[in-house]
């Protein structure tokens, strides 16, 4: 009898083991599927941001200079054999901030191009890959992004519209949001304190700097303003978009577009082309100054008031 009992226990153990193995395999399959979806989403986002030819950026010279000084140059210098002054290890986190449509995402593409030129890597994530479809998986994406960046150093990890992801903590915070912030803080402090320092810089962009969690903000040591364009920049932008000499717009165009971003100017230029095309049916090639004035009135009245 004791023998039979022993046999029963053994069969039960075998059954339990088989069940455990099957469950583990199923979990692994699900987890693999999630990881591959994450990898796909991150790659897609990266491709979206870095695709196409290098963007032509109008103005934002200070922002470019700061990006170069704080993000690109230290990474590149640390990648070479030359002896590096310890103070060049200044920044593991930088934040571009400013009104919408001023070129923050373009500047990220510009940074990606500079990193590419020097053999560095660029990893990107934003609302498209982080928030909608993969809700709850975001901390895993962040961990995977930083792990890839460390594997391919020197590299930049870019997260666009970071306020949506890492807003200030509050009672309404739910578990995934809290977990995400914890993961981010862990990654940022590991960039800051690891020895030897990883040649990785975290770069964020936001329209709402003050909505970002203060603990995260503190770890992003360099804050790079990306302000609204000057009148001159708006005039250059419209002339470039409409393929006209900038003299045609000097003075008056800057005056009527006060406070507009270059994204607004682009919308106004598109509208002017549509007005010209409606009138002359010539593919929008006969845009006049009064078409531009009309378009500015129509587009900017709604965005600037
Ligand atoms: N500095 C700039 N130089 C050239 N084009 C710009 C600039 N800023 C904005 N634009 C135009 O506005 C669009 C949106 O810019 P984007 O970089 O997405 O702004 P942000 O990320 O700051 O909201 C760009 O695709 C481009 O057409
Ligand atoms: Mg943007």
pLDDT per residue as tens digits for the range 247-287: 999 999 999 999 999 999 999 999 999 999 888 888 778 88
pLDDT bracket for residue 167 (50, 70, 90): confident
Please choose from 56, 102, 107 the residue to mutate so as to test ligand 1's pocket, defined by most ligand atoms within 8 A of CB: 102
Residue closest by Cα to atom 24 of ligand 1: 263
What's the pTM?
Answer: 0.81
Residue 81 has pLDDT above 80, yes or no: no
pLDDT at 137: 74
> Could you read off the pLDDT of 153-166 as tens digits, one per residue?
889 999 999 988 77
Q: Which has more pLDDT, 196 or 72?
A: 72
Average pLDDT (102-115) is: 92
In the reported structure, the alpha carbon of residue 118 is separated from the centroid of ligand 1 by a whole-number distance in angstroms of 24
In the reported structure, the alpha carbon of residue 32 is separated from the centroid of ligand 2 by a whole-number distance in angstroms of 31
Which domains, from first to last, does the chain contain?
Answer: 44-225 (3.40.50.300), 231-304 (1.10.8)
Counting from 1 in the atom list of ligand 1, the atom nearest the Cα of 98 is 22
Proximal ligand: closest to the CA of 162? 2
Residue 80 has pLDDT above 80, yes or no: no
Counting from 1 in the atom list of ligand 1, the atom nearest the Cα of 60 is 1
Proximal ligand: closest to the CA of 98? 1
Mean pLDDT of the chain: 82
Residues with Cβ–ion distance below 5 A, ligand 2: 104-105
Please choose from 61, 103, 260, 303 the residue to mutate so as to test ligand 1's pocket, defined by most ligand atoms within 8 A of CB: 103
pLDDT bracket for residue 305 (50, 70, 90): low
> Could you read off the pLDDT of 120-135 as tens digits, one per residue?
889 888 776 666 555 5
Q: Which has more pLDDT, 51 or 70?
A: 70
Please choose from 65, 95, 98, 263 the residue to mutate so as to test ligand 1's pocket, defined by most ligand atoms within 8 A of CB: 263
Proximal ligand: closest to the CA of 234? 1
List residues near ligand 1 (CB under 6 A): 57-60, 100-106, 262-263, 266
In the reported structure, the alpha carbon of residue 104 is separated from the centroid of ligand 2 by a whole-number distance in angstroms of 5
Residue 220 region, left (φ>0) first, then alpha (ψ -120 to 50), else beta?
beta
pLDDT bracket for residue 36 (50, 70, 90): low
């Amino acid at each position: 009898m004791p023998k039979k009992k022993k046999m029963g226990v053994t069969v039960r153990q075998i059954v339990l083991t088989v069940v455990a193995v099957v469950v583990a395999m199923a979990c692994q399959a699900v987890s693999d599927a999630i990881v591959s979806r994450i990898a796909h989403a991150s790659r897609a986002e990266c491709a979206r941001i870095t695709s196409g030819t290098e963007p032509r950026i109008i103005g934002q010279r200070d922002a470019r200079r700061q990006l170069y000084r704080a993000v690109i140059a230290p990474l590149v210098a640390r990648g070479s054999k030359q002896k590096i002054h310890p103070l060049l290890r200044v920044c593991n986190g930088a934040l571009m901030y400013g009104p919408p449509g001023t070129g923050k995402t373009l500047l990220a593409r510009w940074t990606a191009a500079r990193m590419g030129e020097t053999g560095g890597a660029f990893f990107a994530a934003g609302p498209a890959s982080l928030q909608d479809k993969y809700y709850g998986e975001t901390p895993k994406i962040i961990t995977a992004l930083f792990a890839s960046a460390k594997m391919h150093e020197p590299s930049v990890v870019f997260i666009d519209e970071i306020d949506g992801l890492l807003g200030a903590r509050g009672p309404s915070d739910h578990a995934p949001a809290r977990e995400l912030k914890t993961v981010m803080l862990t990654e940022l402090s590991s960039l800051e304190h690891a020895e030897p320092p990883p040649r990785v810089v975290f770069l964020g962009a936001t329209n709402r700097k003050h909505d970002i969690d203060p603990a995260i903000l503190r770890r992003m040591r360099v804050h790079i303003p990306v302000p609204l364009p000057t009148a001159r920049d708006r005039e250059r932008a419209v002339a470039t978009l409409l393929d006209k000499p900038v003299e045609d717009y000097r003075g008056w165009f800057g005056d009527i577009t006060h406070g507009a971003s270059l994204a607004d100017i682009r919308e106004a230029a598109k509208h002017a082309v549509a007005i010209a095309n409606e009138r002359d049916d010539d593919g929008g090639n006969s845009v006049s100054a009064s078409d531009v004035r009309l378009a500015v009135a129509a587009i900017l009245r709604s965005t600037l008031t």
